[in-house]
Structure 1
Amino acid sequence: MMPPTEPASSDPSGLIRLLRDGRQWSVSELAATTGVARSTVSQRLDMLSALGLISRAEPGSSTGGRPPKRVALLADARLVLAFDIGASHAHVGVASITREILAHRRIAIDIAAGPDHVLGQVTEVADDLLDGLGRDRSVVLATGVGLPGPVHAATGRPVRPPIMPGWDGYDVPGWLHSRDGIPAFVDNDVNLAALGEHDRFGVGVDNFLYVKVATGIGAGIISGGMLLRGAQGIAGDIGHVRVSRGEGVFCSCGNEGCLEALAAGPAIARSLREAGIEVTSSREVVARVDAGDVNAIQAVRQAGRDLGEVLSASISFLNPSVIAIGGRMAGAGEHLIAGVREVVYRRAMPLATVGLEIRTARSGERAGLMGATALAADHALSPAGLLALAARQHV
């Protein structure tokens, strides 16, 4: 879920959006900004104080009479958990409600081991991280989860994910909630990486495409400042778009000629093995590129051209101002990007590429973790999230 974009209001979540800037606010300032009565603002602040989310700060300077009381958000009084789960590894994080990641760890996993095993792994690591911070789950408001496959937006359940045997239709939010009563929110990992990377831009980049090239290939789409998920939650599934040189190459989805079957990390490694070069993983491909191996560089450049073929069509539909490429294969640097640019600037309409920036993602492997943090924090501090918290605490 994208951060709310509507004007701040007098409801508690609206006040928190203002307090997230780290300033100390007086009741008068909050009332003037929201356009509602001081008494209403004071009532909302009382609720937030009872929930342990704000504190009364030092009085401000007075212009006559009593100094105004000021309030500030207690950024790390409440926490969120973030799980960015991939095919072979996961990032686990603990963050403040202002999205600052306080502790994180990368672990090896096997997504094919099934949901019970993998979710057990990441929650165990989360408990260790909380212990290291001297905290426990009583202060956790929500969990955000990214999964490497299509996710039904309304239910948070994976939908026929091609590389996740045993996960189809599994109730991931329910499993996590049943463990400790903490609400969990699930999305596709590339969508969350798009949110995490988009946060690095601040204002001004409202039309943005994040592309992850790793074990698979997918895109996260932000249009008009909002994340686009599509009717079934699979918007951006560009890895299964057919490319021109894909004849006779079959994909794990069962179709022929998919981009993922030609340009994802395992596909590049396979093409090098067919040329007599022993590589077994995306990491080894990147290492060979870094070492100046001409064959590896040419294979990565061709993967970039294949990706550029699909992106040139996507640009005509979406007209982004920035395309950021992340994932394991982005470690190959400008060689992958050069292949993308070569095709995009040749095939896309000139008007669509005016001012278009195509570059490596800035957030690296933490983009998905940052997006999962944003997903959890935004839900936790939404009107529904605050009402649920008040019900749990009997406020």
Structure 2
Amino acid sequence: MSRIATTGEVLQLIRSGEATTRAEIGRVTALSRPAVTHRVNELLQRGLVVEDAEGPSTGGRPPVRLRFNASGGVVAVASLGASRTQIALCDLAGGVIERTDLVIDVEEGPDTVLGLVMDTWEKLLEGRGPLAGVGLGVPATVEYARGRTESARVMASWTGVEIPPRIAKRFPVPVLVDNDVNVIAMGEHRDVYPDQDDLLFVKVSTRIGAGVVSSGKIMRGALGAAGEIGHIPVRDGGGVLCRCGNLDCVDSVASGTAILRILRERGRDVETLADVTVLVRQGDAETMAVVRQAGRWLGEVIASAVNLLNPSVVVLGGDVAEMFQPLVSGVREVVYQRSTQLATRSLKIERSRLGPGAGITGCALLVIDRILDEV
């Protein structure tokens, strides 16, 4: 490092394993021995680092190794969905300590929903601590700097709500809020594709949204609106009016809500996506065709994103993508046809491996990265 390394940068060296002894830290950072000692002692006092078993000796007394202390604090997280919310406590490495799922209709509003979430955190926190921060993922466009929901996909009553101050009144720690698909993308990237620094995560559920990882970091855009692919129109969508006021947005023709609507219009008795799953497994030709066409429409939009962003992997998540292989096949068919040869040369299109748990992991990482970077 060419400049004077901060305590936070020393912590990152220890977390990553790049430097785990005082001597190694000195070599990597060019800090003097007293400066290294000062920073390490600060981390030890804060409980973020512990001295581990003695390392191998190269002559003389073996060096004491330093290890990041994941149990040095607790992070409270929640990933809100349209009807189901995942709530958990995580350690400082993002590992889940305890988790519970609640069936909550987010349209009941922020007062009711946040109240239930905070009550649950309080119960989970009994006998644990210290609480280091809070992370929340919501199905809405979020002005990240303020934690303000600007355009809610499935929770219109939340639009314009600044969430962190509401939570900080009860839990006076750093509170970070982001779009639900962004936090899922973070979880998939860190846990499944840590060596892929350019990743596009597309959530296909009640609605459609995307999270973009570029050069290893979430791309949020100027006001947090990056990744809103649900309102990109497709060709030959049939003139369907989207809730945004435009016609044939991919959200209005290829989401779970759209698939149910189309199948009902064609005489299929389907109330939920589970009913669609039954028909797909039975090999119902009409249902298979509808689901695959939804995949093709989605593939149109993803193909444009692939040409623009050149990700190394596209991850399809959300209950629709996870349930329906014909939709994934439709996406692959169109993306490989319509994206450039260079952009698809090594492109992988995969279904999510983490499933719903990715949101919990991403919310934890959102908070951990912030609080540890500020050490």
RMSD: 2.2
Q: Which amino acid aligns with 1:177?
A: A
Please give the secondary structure, in 2, of the residue aligned with 1:364. coil
Query: Residues of 1 paired with 2:30 and 2:110: CA distance?
Result: 48
1:87 is the counterpart of 2:73: no
Please give the secondary structure, in 2, of the residue aligned with 1:176. helix
CA contact (8 A) 1:221 1:227 kept: yes
Query: Residues of 2 paired with 1:63 and 1:240: CA distance?
Result: 61
Deviation readout 1:249-297 (Å, 9 max, x if unpaired): 1122222211111111111011111112121223332343234333322
User: Which residue of 57, 69, 76 maps to 1:74?
Assistant: 69
Query: Residues of 2 paired with 1:58 and 1:237: CA distance?
Result: 49
1:176 is the counterpart of 2:178: no
Q: What's 2:128 paired with?
A: 135
CA contact (8 A) 2:207 2:230 kept: yes
What number of residue pairs does the alignment pair up?
375
User: Which residue of 95, 102, 111 maps to 2:106?
Assistant: 111
Query: Residues of 2 paired with 1:122 and 1:278: CA distance?
Result: 35
Query: Residues of 2 paired with 1:28 and 1:119: CA distance?
Result: 47
Q: What's 1:38 paired with?
A: 33
1:98 is the counterpart of 2:93: yes
Q: What's 2:319 paired with?
A: 328
Query: Residues of 1 paired with 2:261 and 2:234: CA distance?
Result: 18
What's the offset of the Cα at 1:34? 2.4
- CA 1:331–1:63: 2 relative to 1, 3 Å: closer
Deviation readout 1:79-125 (Å, 9 max, x if unpaired): 11121111111111111111111221222111111111111122222
Q: Which amino acid aligns with 1:90?
A: T
1:365 is the counterpart of 2:360: no
Equivalent positions of 1:8-87 (< 5 A) are 10-21=5-16, 25-63=20-58, 65-87=60-82
Query: Residues of 1 paired with 2:250 and 2:2: CA distance?
Result: 41
- 4+ runs deviating over 6 angstroms: 6-9
Q: What's 2:292 paired with?
A: 301
Deviation readout 1:285-327 (Å, 9 max, x if unpaired): 2343234333322221111011001111111111112111000
Q: What's 2:205 paired with?
A: 214
Which range moved further: 344-353 or 83-92? 344-353
Which range moved further: 120-129 or 165-174? 120-129
Q: What's 1:265 paired with?
A: 256
Please give the secondary structure, in 2, of the residue aligned with 1:20. helix
Query: Residues of 2 paired with 1:54 and 1:358: CA distance?
Result: 39
CA contact (8 A) 2:13 2:19 kept: no
Equivalent positions of 1:238-257 (< 5 A) are 238-257=229-248
Query: Residues of 1 paired with 2:32 and 2:282: CA distance?
Result: 65
Query: Residues of 2 paired with 1:339 and 1:61: CA distance?
Result: 55
Query: Residues of 2 paired with 1:247 and 1:135: CA distance?
Result: 55
Query: Residues of 2 paired with 1:255 and 1:366: CA distance?
Result: 33
Please give the secondary structure, in 2, of the residue aligned with 1:352. coil
Query: Residues of 2 paired with 1:26 and 1:212: CA distance?
Result: 42
CA contact (8 A) 1:286 1:331 kept: no
Structure 1: 5+ residue stretches without partners: 1-5, 387-395
CA contact (8 A) 1:283 1:328 kept: no
CA contact (8 A) 2:197 2:215 kept: yes
Structure 2: 5+ residue stretches without partners: none
Query: Residues of 2 paired with 1:8 and 1:248: CA distance?
Result: 58
Query: Residues of 2 paired with 1:168 and 1:232: CA distance?
Result: 14
Q: What's 1:390 paired with?
A: none
- CA 1:70–1:207: 2 relative to 1, 3 Å: closer
- CA 1:107–1:295: 2 relative to 1, 3 Å: farther
Q: What's 2:149 paired with?
A: 158
Please give the secondary structure, in 1, of the residue aligned with 2:234. coil
Which range moved further: 259-268 or 274-283? 274-283
- CA 1:58–1:206: 2 relative to 1, 3 Å: closer
Please give the secondary structure, in 2, of the residue aligned with 1:277. coil
What's the offset of the Cα at 1:216? 0.7
Deviation readout 1:53-73 (Å, 9 max, x if unpaired): 222334445555544333322
What's the offset of the Cα at 1:22? 6.9
What's the offset of the Cα at 1:174? 0.9
Q: What's 1:310 paired with?
A: 301
Please give the secondary structure, in 1, of the residue aligned with 2:365. helix
Query: Residues of 1 paired with 2:42 and 2:240: CA distance?
Result: 60
Query: Residues of 2 paired with 1:260 and 1:354: CA distance?
Result: 28
Q: Which amino acid aligns with 2:200?
A: L
